[in-house]
A and B are shown apart, each in its own frame.
Chain A
Amino acid sequence: MQMEMLPVKGAPSLYLCEEGVLDRLEELLGNYGFTRGVVIHGEKSWKCAQPYFPKFRKIALDFVPYRGNCSTSEINRISEICRNAGAEFVIGVGGGKISDLTKAVADQLKIDPVNIPTLPSTSAPWTALSIVYTDDKVYERTIFYLKSPLMVLLEPRMLLDSPLIYMRAGIGDTLAKWYESEIINRNKPNLRIPIRFALGTSKVIRDTLLANSAEAIRSFERKELTPELISIFEVIVMCGAVSGFGSENTRVAAAHAVHNGLTRLEQTKRFIHGEIVAYGILVQLALEQNWDEIESLIGFYREIGLPCSLKELGIDAANDGELRTVAEGTLAPGESIYYIDRKFTQEDLITAMRDLETFSLKKIS
């Protein structure tokens, strides 16, 4: 029987999300017999985390500010510091880049990474991979690890202090999990169980996002931790389990390829990843003429403030040259749109974006 290689790296050894979780940090680390470690943090992220970060009594900690990037040189620099400090674990306090950097350093030294996210925008704290950039902040490579981090600890009050745009973008990026994994697997027979679990999880993710995001954003704005808001924090971080279980079978598809195409235009530089991906979901749905779903998503996007038209992204739908640039980028060799078992042309993409524009503007007006 033919079997595909399907390595599952589903979760950290321990994940906790609760107010006051960091009060237990030293005790939790003590469970592993640790005596000394290093904390990697950013400037802003440390300001955000400090009020919740406990004083340690027995375990020795060194604090190392990162230099704003998860690059090979930064990984090497901090690994050297950790080696000299005799670190048995490394804690990353910050956003996605710090999580990625922490995992990379831990992997290099064969010690354990612990991630404490300060932004509800990415599943980087959870996943068994890092995205590495050059010193000029251009994408360089993705490192895949043999396991997920040791611990992921969410202090929800800390995430409440972050700027709202990150959570909103996180919602867009996370929503794509369902639409992208569903389209890739729709026609495949005999899906393996880990893939089915990943697909089922991405459906729960979509349902939770659609049901709770609006209330979560309202709670976020009045700085109140409601069950809806906590569910959105958890969904954004834990959606790492979708690729953790489904491996490459439940990664990205057209929505992310459209994102990559759109980043070729200067206008989109002021938007963050998840906002552009959110628009990409609509283009993917337009490519398959699923206007009912588009209509319901437009209602959702309007309610929570995600872009549903080129106009909102600052792009003129009548500009042939720009749309062609986006279509070319979307269809560049190696793009994730090719995981879909249908061939799309540049014309298909341009038509989809134009039809979507007409549809969206009519709904908005």
Chain B
Amino acid sequence: MINVKGSPGLYVCEEGALDHLENLLKSHGFKKGILIRGNKSWEAAAPYFPRMSEVRLTEVVYRGECSDPETRRIADIYQSEGAEFVLGVGGGKILDLTKAVANEVKGKAVLVPTLASTCAAWTSLSVIYTEEGVYERLQVYPRSTLMVLIEPRILLDSPVEYMKAGIGDTLAKWYEAEALTRNKKNLRFPVLMAMQGAQLCRDLLLADSAEAIASMERKAMSHALLNIIELNIMVAGLCGGFGDNEVRIAAAHSVHNGLTRLEETHHLLHGEKVAYGILVQLALEGQWEEIDRLIGFYREIGLPYSLASLGVDSGRGDKLRLVAEGALAPGESIHFMEGNYTVDDVVRAMLALEDRYAGDATAARP
């Protein structure tokens, strides 16, 4: 069974998108809402945020986690204010929290992302953490987000490492989905749509990322950057939206999860570790030509492609085993693949990557 939750009600990505916000809210008949925001992310968004003349917003600064108590706290404010919608402005956690609050009050969510590192703006689900920041569960909603408005100039000013991490995470869509669907017959049409989206991600990320990053560095909007923003937020989100469990994650994300067992990777963002995980997945399958192609790309844009570039000492066999054990933990997505991989396989794949690429003089950490 495939649950297709393909798209928010309305998605607009353009310079000046927020100028439409009040009119759009009014066309839904809304007069009063809650604005959930952070501090840093709000600084980025505020210059583009319109002054509202008729719709009233009650501002709530979130407390740093998308947790059940935080959801209830804001849902209470929603109810006591008699709000009709929840507007979230921020990164992935704020957007996830906004969706959680909207679901709690059976209301509507409106999202304005300030980072292009995640597809949280698109998907109708939240990752829920405990108040201490430990992963608790994935929560899927019956109603998709009412509106997603992207002001690309906010993302132009966002930290470039988040954009890179988003690229790594989005690139995995193709490699993981392809590995899982390769030998399946009679794929349902929504799954074919998702695969088509995943391929678009790979092709255009490889083509446009370098230029997109360059344009962030010189603070000038470009088609390449707009493409990367839309791939990271929209297409990455719709792959799972249309493909549901048929295009889920595979070994690349398991390797990420294994890496999180090492203290030395904690400074890296999710998508950076996933990017390395893609290479390990390909090495497990012996796809060295594809790896060669990706290494060039990773080097160009500064994604980690070796243990050295992750800050992990490849001479420490015990650490590599720890990563491999984590990647192969029961329930890990690597088990959706057909290879029946062992700890030794994963360690060997990491060492083979290291042999081939880490000796390079340019193997500095990104």
* Contact sample, A vs B, 10 pairs, CB 8 Å cutoff: A1-B221, A1-B223, A8-B10, A15-B4, A15-B6, A146-B24, A193-B230, A200-B196, A238-B189, A238-B190
B192 at the interface (CB under 8 A from A): yes
- In the complex, the answer to whether B29 meets A5 with C-beta atoms within 8 Å is no
Nearest CB to that of A21 among chain B residues? B1
| Contact mask for chain A residues 224-264; partner B; CB cutoff 8 A; 1 contact, 0 none | 00010011001100100100110000000000000000000
Q: How far is the CA of A208 from the CA of B146 in the complex (A)?
A: 31
B336 to chain A, nearest CB (A): 22
A138 at the interface (CB under 8 A from B): no
Q: How far is the CA of A245 from the CA of B13 in the complex (A)?
A: 12
| Contact mask for chain B residues 1-26; partner A; CB cutoff 8 A; 1 contact, 0 none | 11111111111111100000000100
Q: How far is the CA of A204 from the CA of B14 in the complex (A)?
A: 28
Contacts of A60 in B (CB 8 A): none
A194-239 interface with B by 8 A CB criterion: 194, 196-197, 200-201, 203-204, 208, 227, 230-231, 234-235, 238
From A5, A200, A204, A244, contact of B7 by CB (8 A): A244
- In the complex, the answer to whether A194 meets B188 with C-beta atoms within 8 Å is no
- In the complex, the answer to whether A227 meets B197 with C-beta atoms within 8 Å is no
Tell which of A8, A192, A196 has the most Cβ of chain B within 10 Å. A8
Contacts of A137 in B (CB 8 A): none
- In the complex, the answer to whether B14 meets A6 with C-beta atoms within 8 Å is yes
B238 at the interface (CB under 8 A from A): yes
Q: How far is the CA of A9 from the CA of B188 in the complex (A)?
A: 22
A7 at the interface (CB under 8 A from B): yes
Known: A14-B3, A194-B230. A6 touches B142 (CB 8 A): no
Nearest CB to that of B1 among chain A residues? A18
From B24, B142, B204, B234, contact of A194 by CB (8 A): B234
B214 to chain A, nearest CB (A): 15
A85 at the interface (CB under 8 A from B): no
Known: A14-B142, A32-B106, A32-B142. A6 touches B13 (CB 8 A): yes
B51 at the interface (CB under 8 A from A): no
**Total interface residues in chain A, CB < 8 Å:** 46
Provide the main secondary structure of the chain B interface. mixed
| Contact mask for chain A residues 175-202; partner B; CB cutoff 8 A; 1 contact, 0 none | 0000000000000001011101100110
A110 at the interface (CB under 8 A from B): yes
Nearest CB to that of A18 among chain B residues? B1
A123 at the interface (CB under 8 A from B): no
Extra inter-chain contacts (17) besides given A197-B234, A203-B196, CB under 8 Å: A1-B15, A6-B13, A8-B11, A9-B9, A11-B5, A11-B241, A12-B144, A15-B5, A15-B190, A110-B29, A147-B8, A147-B9, A147-B10, A193-B231, A197-B238, A204-B192, A241-B7
From B6, B14, B189, contact of A11 by CB (8 A): B6
Q: How far is the CA of A18 from the CA of B4 in the complex (A)?
A: 12
B143 at the interface (CB under 8 A from A): yes
Q: How far is the CA of A17 from the CA of B190 in the complex (A)?
A: 10
**Total interface residues in chain B, CB < 8 Å:** 49
Q: How far is the CA of A201 from the CA of B188 in the complex (A)?
A: 13
Q: How far is the CA of A236 from the CA of B12 in the complex (A)?
A: 26
B227 at the interface (CB under 8 A from A): yes
A122 at the interface (CB under 8 A from B): no
From B12, B186, B221, B227, contact of A6 by CB (8 A): B12
B residues contacting A by CB (< 8 A) are: 1-15, 24, 27-29, 106, 124, 142-144, 146-147, 186, 188-190, 192-193, 196-197, 199-200, 204, 221-223, 226-227, 230-231, 234-235, 238, 241-242
Contacts of A10 in B (CB 8 A): 6-8, 11, 238
A55 to chain B, nearest CB (A): 22
- In the complex, the answer to whether B10 meets A146 with C-beta atoms within 8 Å is yes
- In the complex, the answer to whether A14 meets B5 with C-beta atoms within 8 Å is yes
Nearest CB to that of A189 among chain B residues? B223
Contacts of B28 in A (CB 8 A): 110, 146
Q: How far is the CA of A101 from the CA of B24 in the complex (A)?
A: 23
Known: A33-B106, A193-B227. A241 touches B9 (CB 8 A): no
- In the complex, the answer to whether A190 meets B143 with C-beta atoms within 8 Å is no
Q: How far is the CA of A203 from the CA of B146 in the complex (A)?
A: 28
Top-8 shortest CB links A-B: A11-B6, A147-B9, A10-B7, A193-B230, A15-B4, A11-B7, A8-B11, A227-B186
Nearest CB to that of B224 among chain A residues? A190
- In the complex, the answer to whether A7 meets B11 with C-beta atoms within 8 Å is yes
B11 to chain A, nearest CB (A): 4
B205 to chain A, nearest CB (A): 11
- In the complex, the answer to whether A193 meets B192 with C-beta atoms within 8 Å is no
B244 to chain A, nearest CB (A): 10
A93 at the interface (CB under 8 A from B): no
- In the complex, the answer to whether B143 meets A8 with C-beta atoms within 8 Å is no
B142 to chain A, nearest CB (A): 4
- In the complex, the answer to whether A197 meets B196 with C-beta atoms within 8 Å is yes
- In the complex, the answer to whether B10 meets A7 with C-beta atoms within 8 Å is yes
B25 to chain A, nearest CB (A): 10
